[in-house]
Structure 1
Amino acid sequence: MEIREFAERVLLSDSLEEKLKPAPPILTDDCPGDSLRIKEPTRPANLQFAAPRTAPAMPKPAALVEQEKRALAHHIMANHELQALEVMAYVLCAFPEAPAEFRQGMCAIMADEQRHTRMHKERAAVLGLEFGSLPVNCYIWKKALSYESLLDYLAGLPLTFEGRNLDHTGEFEQYFLDAGDQRSAALMKVVYRDEIQHVAFGLHWLRQLKPDHLSDWEAYEQHLHWPIRAALSVGDTFNREARRETGMTDEFIDRLYQAAHSDQPPNQKPKNLD
């Protein structure tokens, strides 16, 4: 199978089963095709993007003691993972001129996103909620439509959205443990380990593709599209060790910390970032 065929299957299929079907072990890239950009991925009827502010919000941590709220959390995270998968397929189609090594690496990460989607989908079902039975948002996808280059993608998805997951996965692991849900907590630990590798991939390619005169931080900030900003790559906690594992320098990590610490609404106490 060609990489382009795999990407189009993920992006354009109206079957969730097809979107989540693993690619063959070996993908060729002889025909990357012309650039293809679309406004929305094709999805089954029950997973069409909802109108703004109509999808349910993530439950508060204290509410996760309730089984139905934990099911909702997994439903929302399944959609986040599915959007990330679709964005990666979009990038492969939109930037067929990307380096071959980058394109192969993206396919490996897409396999993780497929697995994460299935894990959250299956856990939600065990907890009593079928994936697609509630409205889902399109936030991650909509932000990807502003990507004009691979560097925009690297700054936006791996280094910001997935970077934030370096904190969120640990937070939700603890929330689920507090609720007595060992299986959901174990799921989050698996995702956490994968996210370290995904962010490392993004950082590696940022360094490969950025102009030599720009630092990692300068390249990262210059390729963010407002309202996406560095502060959004940090959760309510700040996992320095995970960021070191990705290969971030201490300077880059400190800049992220400072960005999050200074990005506070008026009259709000600073986040717990340590």
Structure 2
Amino acid sequence: MRSVAQAVRDVLLTAEPIAKVKAARRVARDWRLGRLAHVFDVAMPDRPASPAQPELLPPNRMPKRGRGSAHGRIALIHALAHIEFVAVDLAFDMAGRFGGAFDRAFTDDWLKVGADEAMHFALLDRRLRQLGSRYGAMPAHGGLWEAAEATAHDVAGRLAVVPMVLEARGLDVTPMTIERFEAAGDMATGRILRRIFNDEIVHVAAGTRWFESCCAAKGFAPETEWRALLKRYFGGSIKPPFNDSARQSAGLTREYYAPLAT
């Protein structure tokens, strides 16, 4: 039987977006159906394969999106699609890189997250095509893998930064983004973003639950350890406004982030 690590590595090394989506969903299904062995016999790549497009730029070189215009809304959908595309790799790398240190439930959770992210990307890519564009038609943020590189050796650090900071930020900003699209009459994009928002709560909850499990195993206070890990691995700041109710639903209480809010 093929190992889950081999299957995950294949997803990470698939560059073409639609092929990656199909591979991610197939691996998650095969794992769920017992077709992959809980064996971690190959190393994960340092970086996943990237498609030829979009061009990846540092944040300070990203073009400004025109707020309120149709082009600006398409550019925002493209940016969100890119976040979801990278999130596929982040979730699969989480499973493949760290899954051997945990029971099967860890792999269950992160392959499910990866399949969700693949579905989110597919929905946003289809919406771009409906609007006359496509994923890859615009430049994209080139720094989204940096958090994975910084935490490649530290599962608690990865959990602290990726689901509990980066994805939790989506809980804060997505409701306002939905309002923006719906105010412009784009109810179809609004429906996609509502689905993504509900899934994000589940993803942040998985990250918080596994982070707290890591802390319990070492006798650490999770809120204190989370702040220490962010100081070590996360270069940004934790900024309000916060969607406290959504974060609370995910187990990410104010005791974690309120002391760091700037």
TM-score above 0.5, yes or no: yes
Aligned to 2:8: 7
Kept after mapping to 2: 8 A contact 1:221/1:230: no
Please say if 1:33 is aligned against 2:41: yes
2:90 aligned partner = 87
Secondary structure of the structure 1 residue equivalent to 2:61: coil
Distance of 1:37 and 1:69 partners within structure 2: 35
Verify: 1:172 aligned to 2:177, yes or no. yes
CA contact 2:58–2:143 (8 Å) conserved in 1? no
| Correspondence for 1:126 | 130
Deviation at 1:9, TM superposition (A): 2.5
Equivalent AA in structure 1 for residue 38 of structure 2? D
Q: Which has the higher helix share?
A: 2
More deviation in 80-89 or 222-231?
222-231
Tell me what 1:140 maps to.
144
Task: State the 1:90 CA deviation.
Answer: 2.4
TM-score (norm 2): 0.86
Equivalence for 1:268:
none
Q: Per-residue deviation at 1:6?
A: 3.2
2:162 is matched with which residue: 157, 162, 177? 157
Correspondence 1:53 to 2:56? no
Structure 1 position 103 matched with structure 2 position 88: no
User: Deviations for 1:196-251, whole angstroms, at most 9, x for unmatched residues?
Assistant: 0001001110111114532221121122255726843x5x5321111121123xxx
Q: Indicate conservation of the 8 Å contact 1:144/1:153, yes or no.
A: yes
Alpha-carbon contact 1:84-1:141 (below 8 Å) kept: no
User: Using the alignment, how far apart are the partners of 1:258 and 1:109 within structure 2?
Assistant: 29
- What amino acid does structure 2 have at the position aligned with 1:256? Y
Q: Offset at 1:48? A: 5.2
Aligned to 1:221: 227
Q: CA deviation at 1:30?
A: 3.3
Matched residue, 2:51? 44
**Distance in 1 of aligned mates of 2:154 and 2:90:** 13
Q: CA RMSD in A?
A: 2.3
Structure-2 change in CA distance of 1:258 and 1:179 (3 Å): farther
Aligned to 1:182: 187
Give TM-score, length-normalised by structure 1. Answer: 0.83
- Per the alignment, residue 201 of structure 2 pairs with 196
Q: Deviation of residue 96 (structure 1)? A: 4.7
Farther off after superposition, 132-141 or 90-99:
90-99
- The residue type paired with residue 5 of structure 1 is Q
Pair 1:113–1:225, CA change in 2 (3 A): farther
Q: Deviations over 1:143-178 (max 9, x none)?
A: 210102111111011100111111111110111122
Q: Residue 77 in 1 paired to residue 85 in 2?
A: no
Distance 1:192 1:48, change over 3 A: same
For residue 135 of structure 1, what is the amino acid of its counterpart? Answer: P
User: Displacement of 1:47 after TM fit?
Assistant: 3.2
What is the distance in 1 between the residues matched to 2:185 and 2:235?
35
Structure 2: gaps spanning 5 or more residues: none
Amino acid at match of 1:36: M
Q: How does 1:237-256 map to 2 (within 5 A)?
A: 237-248=241-252, 252-256=253-257
Q: How many residue pairs align between the two structures?
A: 251
Question: Paired residue for 1:16?
Answer: 17
Measured against aligned partners, the alpha-carbon deviations of 1:83-132 in whole angstroms (never above 9, x if no partner) come to: 11112222333335231211121000101100111111111222222110
d(CA) in 2 for partners of 1:189 and 1:48? Answer: 28
Q: Secondary structure of 1:188's match?
A: helix
**Alpha carbons 1:70, 1:127 under 8 Å: kept:** no
Contact 1:154 1:206 in 2 (8 A): yes
